[in-house]
Amino acid sequence: MKQTDICILGGGITALSTAWTLSKEGKQVTICYTPRPHNATQAAGGMLSPSCEADGCDPALIELPVQSCATYPDWVSELERVSGIQCGYRTEGTLLVALHHDHNQELEHLVAFQQQFALSHQWCTRKQLKGLEPNLTRHIGGLHFANDYQIDPRQLYRALRTGLHKLGVTMLEGECRLEMANDQVEYLICEHNKIFAHTYILSDGAWSMEHLPTLPLRPVKGQYLLLAPKEGQETLVNHVIRTPDVYIIPREKGQLYIGATMEEESFDNRETVGATLDLLYHAFQVLPGVYEMVVVEHGKGFRPALRDNQPLIGPHYRSDGTSSNLWFNLGHYRHGIMLAPQAATLLKDALLYQHPIPMAFDQRRFVTS
Ligand SMILES: Cc1cc2nc3c(=O)[nH]c(=O)nc-3n(C[C@H](O)[C@H](O)[C@H](O)COP(=O)(O)OP(=O)(O)OC[C@H]3O[C@@H](n4cnc5c(N)ncnc54)[C@H](O)[C@@H]3O)c2cc1C
């Protein structure tokens, strides 16, 4: 039997960043997780792109990424200092490239939506794009998002795990089961451990409905490719390159991450020919030099997506409207790496200091009258 202030279910970026934030507030935190090889964190590209991703969504989902990306430099440098692990945080920025007229229309549509918000971008001519990235192919123009950065999610994850260990956070691995009575958690079983906590936080990504089947949650499968340069091949790009069809993220040693499919395939974890074709075709169109590269990984992960594709942060409400000792930080869908520090802060401020959670992230938005 173990007694703790806060017990977090899940072992991905969301659970770990929540544990980091709460334990830095002096709370005793225990993490319990069931290993899943295709969790989203290990598959993610790591784009921190508040502007590129701000397309037709709720204003709350524009503000949260902007705030999160603003906290990233300090968050990462503290994590790197405590853990001694570099997170691959890069600030070259992102180019959103139009290869033909339809793409250009999409870019114009995006900019028109973004004009309501203070998101910065700069239109670039073909010549300007070529000046920034000479290996790009013909294109009709594009956008430069100078503030859309990137990080290596696997390095970030390693840094968080090491940092949490140093802060004294316990991580237990095994099958997990919540014992509930009257919509209240009584205790959690993780393998042979029985854990009693003041508060439980559900944060196990697309698998969260195993504990609460009524959650309107689904997995959205994403396949990606990792390419490495052939011997002697130059590094092809330094910016994150996006078109409306594909994105290419430069990694260490000239490697490129090509992502990612969006598939409503439940937990089907097979890698498909169609995904390979699509990803490589679209990557080749914008960056022909990928033809020479070597495929070193074809992977996939399951993004946790709620019905409206917005996160769920805050307390679980019972049918009588009162909150219970179960809390949520999940459903970060395509943005869990980007949102990690600020989603954790939002939860911490609500849990410890009773700050309000925006209704766009509150569980009660799903209640129909
Ligand atoms: C291909 C791809 C590309 C992406 N690219 C980006 C990007 O560029 N930028 C960005 O911001 N986001 C990106 N995302 C989204 C991001 O990866 C997710 O939003 C984020 O990783 C979700 O983190 P999580 O911790 O909530 O879930 P996960 O990372 O899926 O972790 C879930 C955790 O729960 C544990 N678990 C599972 N079942 C149980 C159980 N029953 N009990 C206890 N624990 C359990 C698992 O072991 C795992 O540790 C991408 C996702 C994919 C798939």
- pLDDT (tens digit, 0 to 9) for every residue of the chain, 369 residues total? 889 999 999 999 999 999 999 999 999 999 999 999 999 999 999 999 999 888 878 889 999 999 999 999 999 999 999 999 999 999 999 999 999 999 999 999 999 988 888 888 999 999 999 999 999 997 778 999 999 999 999 999 999 999 999 999 999 999 999 999 988 999 999 999 999 999 999 999 999 999 999 999 999 999 999 999 999 999 999 999 999 999 999 999 999 999 999 999 999 999 999 999 999 999 999 999 999 999 999 999 999 999 999 999 999 998 888 999 999 999 999 999 999 999 999 999 999 999 999 999 999 999 764
Rounded Cα distance between 318 and 341, Å, is: 28
Q: Which helix (H) or strand (E) holds 23?
A: helix 13-23
Q: Give the contacts of 152 (CB within 8 A, at least 6 positions apart).
A: 46, 87, 88, 251, 252
Is the Cβ atom of 14 under 6 angstroms away from ligand 1? yes
pLDDT at 369: 45
* Nearest alpha carbon to residue 260 among 42, 44, 26, 48: 44
Q: Is the CB of 205 under 6 A from ligand 1?
A: yes
> Please, which residues have CB within 8 angstroms of residue 115's CB and are 6 or more apart in sequence?
none
* Cα-Cα-Cα-Cα dihedral sign, residues 161, 169, 316, 265: positive
pLDDT for position 172: 97
CATH number assigned to the domain covering 91-149+218-305: 3.30.9.10
Q: SS3 for 42? A: helix
- Contact yes or no for 219/302 (Cβ under 8 A): yes
Q: Residue 88 to residues 15, 64, 125: CA-CA distances in angstroms?
A: 20, 22, 30
Which residue has a Cα nearest atom 19 of ligand 1? 336
Domain 2-79+153-217+307-366 has CATH 3.50.50.60: yes
Q: What is the pLDDT of residue 55?
A: 84
Does the C-beta of 260 come closer than 6 Å to ligand 1?
yes
Verify whether ligand 1 is closer than 6 Å to residue 65 (CB atom): no
Distance 41 CA to ligand 1 centre (A): 4
Hey, where are the domains in the chain? 2-79+153-217+307-366, 91-149+218-305
* Closest ligand 1 atom, residue 249 Cα: 8
Residue 128 — φ and ψ, nearest 5°?
A: -65, -40
Distance of CA 94 to the CA centre of its chain: 17
pLDDT at 114 (0 to 100): 87
Pocket flag, ligand 1, residue 176 (CB < 6 Å): yes
Measured from the Cα of 15, ligand 1's closest atom is 25
Ligand 1 contact, 220 CB (< 6 A): no
User: How far, in Å, CA of 129 to CA of 140, rounded?
Assistant: 10
- What does the longest C-alpha to C-alpha distance in the chain come to? 66
Going by C-beta distance under 8 Å and a sequence separation of 6 or more, which residues neighbour residue 91?
149
Distance linking the first and last C-alpha atoms of the chain: 42
Name which of 37, 312, 34 is nearest 178 in CA terms: 34
CB 337 within 8 A of CB 42: no
Q: Is 39 a pocket residue for ligand 1 (Cβ < 6 Å)?
A: yes
DSSP assignment string, 270-311 = ---HHHHHHHHHHHHHH-GGGGG-EEEEEEEEEEEEETTS--
Kindly give the number of the ligand 1 atom that is closest to the alpha carbon of 338.
Answer: 11
- The answer, yes or no, to whether any atom of ligand 1 lies below 6 A from the CB of 336, is yes
